[in-house]
Amino acid sequence: MSTAWRVLICDSIDKIGVEILTKAGMIVDYQPEISFEKLQSLVNGYDVLVVRSRTTVSKEVIEKGNSLKVIARVGVGLDNIDTNYAKSKNIEVINAQEAAINAVSELVIGSMISLARLIPFAHSELSKGNWIKKSLIGTELSGKYLGIVGVGNIGRNVGRIARALRMNIIGYDIYPISREYINEVGMINADLNTLVESSDFITIHVPLSSDTYHLFDGDLLSRMKKSSYLINTSRGGIVDETALYDLLKDQKIAGAGLDVFEVEPPVDKKFLEMPNVLCTPHIGAQTKEAQELAARVIAEKLIHKFQEASV
């Protein structure tokens, strides 16, 4: 019989993940507040590292983890893990891609409606005693064009919900989008410039990489319609924040919904002072359901990996 894996959990995860792993006989060390320095001194001897987005699994950490077999991300984005270096050391990197689909999609729809109907601004004014009903003329989603950049798991689900709200869907992806999905939501498949120039709302769902860093640069952003909104729940570095701020300040676009920032938490509070910008603190996957599902998916994947390694 193989020796049980030693699992170091470095970020807070739903307790179901710890329960499943412990029941399966793994030796689980739950240290959700572990510092980067402590992680480096402790990592040696563990077979598995489990992280969310707080912990950076850099080359230095991987180098010190002589027994590491798997690095597991309880979530989607892998940009806090040096995946290339892990691969070079034969360490597998896994994630829970499927867990956040609903949570992020619903935040996108919520942000679009909030911006289009000026809900946060209306609330904030009323809380100051200002009944400004006459000036709060919003816009409706129905009949508008939604541009989806990155038609993967989340992008596709956003398209389905938006279709149910009677929006028209435009999609762009570097890989071909399935004919079945195009037919399902009546998607117009366009190049990126056309999508940006034609959409009333744009939602970004591509991963952060050297290819997508500042994909939405000053040039692309300036192609947006004056009446259009940009929603980013993907990663901060994908949008050039300075260029976006300038466009918003000069009222060259209608507004933006930002769940992610290039530096988190943002040092610069400039977006928070704008009435047409809705900022949230990276809460895309922060639902009870998504957190539980992510922890469960990762625990089950790890048990499967352990069984595979044991035969």
Q: Is 189 within 8 Å of 182 (Cβ atoms)?
A: yes
Which letter does DSSP use for residue 143 in this model? T
> What is the smallest separation between the CB atom of 185 and ligand NAD, expressed in angstroms?
15
Q: Is 69 within 8 Å of 305 (Cβ atoms)?
A: yes
Q: Is 53 within 8 Å of 29 (Cβ atoms)?
A: no
Instruction: Determine if 73 is a binding residue for ligand NAD (CB under 6 A).
Output: no
The CB density around residue 241, as the number of other CB atoms within 10 Å, is 21
Give me the residue whose beta carbon is nearest to ligand NAD.
Answer: 152
Instruction: Determine if 284 is a binding residue for ligand NAD (CB under 6 A).
Output: yes
Q: Which of 51, 98, 93 is nearest to 69 (CA)?
A: 93
In whole angstroms, how far apart are CA 22 and each of 5, 29, 43, 121, 243?
10, 10, 19, 47, 49
Query: Which range touches ligand NAD (CB under 6 A), out of 11-19, 203-211, 250-258, 292-300?
Result: 203-211
Q: Which one of the listed residues 73, 156, 205, 235 is annotated catalytic?
A: 235
What is the contact mask toward ligand NAD in residues 206 to 225, using x (rule: CB under 6 A)? xxx--xx--x----------
Query: Which range touches ligand NAD (CB under 6 A), out of 7-15, 134-142, 152-160, 248-256?
Result: 152-160
> What is the smallest separation between the CB atom of 177 and ligand NAD, expressed in angstroms?
8
92 is an active site residue? no
Instruction: Determine if 110 is a binding residue for ligand NAD (CB under 6 A).
Output: no
Q: Which one of the listed residues 6, 282, 292, 300 is annotated catalytic?
A: 282
What burial class does residue 119 get, using C-beta atoms within 10 Å of its C-beta: 0-12 exposed, 13-18 middle, 19+ buried?
A: middle
Q: Which of 110, 120, 152, 266 binds ligand NAD (CB under 6 A)?
A: 152
Q: Which of 60, 66, 11, 7 is nearest to 37 (CA)?
A: 60
> What is the smallest separation between the CB atom of 80 and ligand NAD, expressed in angstroms?
11
Instruction: Report the length, in residues, of the chain.
Output: 311
264 is an active site residue? yes
Which letter does DSSP use for residue 100 in this model? G
Instruction: Determine if 276 is a binding residue for ligand NAD (CB under 6 A).
Output: no
- H-type alpha helices, 65-170: 83-88, 101-116, 119-127, 153-164
Scanning residues 165 to 184, which ones bind ligand NAD (CB under 6 A)?
172-175
> What is the smallest separation between the CB atom of 222 and ligand NAD, expressed in angstroms?
19
Instruction: Determine if 147 is a binding residue for ligand NAD (CB under 6 A).
Output: no
Instruction: Determine if 233 is a binding residue for ligand NAD (CB under 6 A).
Output: yes
235 is an active site residue? yes
Secondary structure (3-state) at 211: coil
The catalytic residue positions are 235, 264, 282
Footprint on this chain of ligand NAD (rule: CB under 6 A): 76-77, 97, 100, 104, 149-155, 172-175, 205-208, 211-212, 215, 233-235, 259-260, 282, 284-285
